[in-house]
Structure 1
Amino acid sequence: MTPLTAGNARVKEARKLSRRSVRSERRLFLADGPKAVEGALGVPGCVVEVFATPSAAQEYADLLAPAEVTLVDDRALASLSDSVNPAGLVALCNFLDVPANHPLWLGESALMVRRDAPRGPLVAICADIRDPGNAGTVIRCADAAGADAVVFAGDSVDVYNPKTVRASVGSLFHLPVAIERDAAAAVRAAREAGLTVLAADGGGEVDLFDSDELLARPTAWLLGNEAWGLPEELAALADHRVRIPIHGRAESLNLATAAALCLYASARAQRG
Structure 2
Amino acid sequence: MHRIPDVTLANPRADRVKQVRALSGRPARSRHGQFLVEGPQGVREAVRHAPGAVRDVYLTPATAERYAEILDAALAAGLYVHLGTREVLEAMSPDAQGVLAVVRTQEPSLDAALREAAGARPLLVAVLATVRDPGNAGTVIRAADAAGADLVVLAGESVDMYNPKVVRSTAGSMFHLPVVTDVGLAETVEALRGAGCTVLAADGGGDLDLDDLLDAAGTPGASPDLARSTAWVFGNEAWGLPEADRALADAVVRVPIRGRAESLNLATAATVCLYASGRAQR
Counterpart-to-counterpart distance in 1, 2:72 and 2:167: 22
Match of 1:53 in 2: 60
Alpha carbons 1:31, 1:91 under 8 Å: kept: yes
1:96 offset after TM fit, Å?
Answer: 2.9
Distance 2:271 2:98 in 1: 31
Q: Which residue does the alignment assign to 1:191?
A: 193
Using a 3 Å threshold, how does the CA distance of structure 1 residues 82 and 127 change in structure 2: closer, same or farther? farther
Q: C-alpha deviations, 1:88-107, integer Å up to 9, x for none?
A: 110010113312332x2x2x
Note the 1:114-129 alignment, pairs <5 A. Answer: 117=120, 119-129=121-131
The question of 1:69 aligning with 2:81 is answered: yes
CA distance in 1, matches of 2:87, 2:94: 12
Q: Which amino acid aligns with 1:222?
A: V
Runs of 4+ in 1 over 6 A off after TM superposition: none
Q: Give the C-alpha shift of residue 181 in structure 1.
A: 3.6
**Structure 1 length normalisation: TM-score?**
0.92
Deviations 1:91-129 (A, max 9, x none): 010113312332x2x2x23324xxxx2x30100000111
Kept in 1: contact 2:89–2:98 (CA 8 A): yes
Tell me how far apart the structure 2 counterparts of residues 70 and 34 of structure 1 sit (CA, whole Å): 15
Aligned with 2:52: secondary structure? coil
Equivalent positions of 1:238-249 (< 5 A) are: 238-249=249-260
- The letter for the 2-side match of 1:163 is K
How far apart are residue 81 of structure 1 and its match? 2.0
Any conservation in 2 of the 1:82–1:162 contact (CA below 8 Å)? no
Q: How far is 1:241 from its partner?
A: 0.6
5+ residue gaps in structure 2? Answer: 1-5, 75-79, 218-224
Any gaps of 5 or more consecutive residues in structure 1? none
What does 1:165-184 correspond to in 2, within 5 Å? 165-184=167-186
What residue is the counterpart of 2:261 in the other structure?
A: 250
The reply on whether 1:237 has 2:239 as its aligned counterpart is no
Is 1:99–1:180's contact at 8 Å kept on the other side of the alignment? Answer: no
In structure 2, C-alpha distance between the alignment counterparts of 1:101 and 1:77, rounded to whole Å? 39
Q: What residue identity is the alignment partner of 2:271? A: A
- Measured after TM superposition, the shift of residue 217 of structure 1 is 1.2
The offset of 1:82, in angstroms, is 4.2
1:145: which partner in 2? 147
The answer for the alignment partner of 2:132 in structure 1 is 130
**Segment drifting more, 23-32 vs 92-101:** 92-101
Secondary structure (helix, strand or coil) at the match of 1:126 reads strand
CA contact (8 A) 1:122 1:218 kept: yes
TM-score by length of 2: 0.88
Aligned residue number for residue 28 of structure 1 = 34
Asked if 1:15 corresponds to 2:21, the answer is yes
Match of 2:220 in 1: none
One-letter amino acid of the structure 1 residue matched with residue 266 of structure 2: L
Instruction: State the alpha-carbon separation in 2 of the partners of residues 109 and 146 from structure 1.
Output: 15
Equivalent residues of 2:198, 2:231 under 8 A apart: yes
Asked if the contact 1:34–1:87 (Cα under 8 Å) also holds between the matched residues in 2, the reply is yes
Cα offsets for 1:72-93 (capped at 9, x unmatched)? 111221122242xx42110010
Aligned residues: 261
> Percent same amino acid at aligned positions?
54
